[in-house]
Amino acid sequence: MKVTIDVHGMTCMHCHGRVISVSSSLEGTKTVQKSLEDNNTNVSFDLEKVTIDEVRQVVIGTGQEVVKI
């Protein structure tokens, strides 16, 4: 499954890097792509290994605000 996570406050490469790092560390994550211009991150993952809520929680854990999935 592929989801786009709209995140409020991702204004620099450091913020994106943290989101990519923690998202990529989840078991079941296949790909993570960022868009600094659009303030979002695209995550592809295996729903048998990780849930959308788990992805959302790790993004929130970086200090970012998830606006929409």
Cα–Cα distance for residue pair 66/30, rounded to 1 Å = 20
**CATH architecture for the domain at 12-68:** 2-Layer Sandwich (3.30)
Rounded to two decimals, the pTM is 0.77
- Region 26-52 average pLDDT: 84
**Rounded average pLDDT over 14-31:** 86
Specify burial of residue 66 (Cβ count, 10 A radius: 0-12, 13-18, 19+): middle
In this predicted structure, the answer to whether residue 63 has a pLDDT above a threshold of 80 is: yes
Query: Terminal CA-to-CA distance of the chain, rounded, Å?
Result: 12
The predicted pLDDT at position 57 comes to 92
Return the pLDDT at 5.
Answer: 79
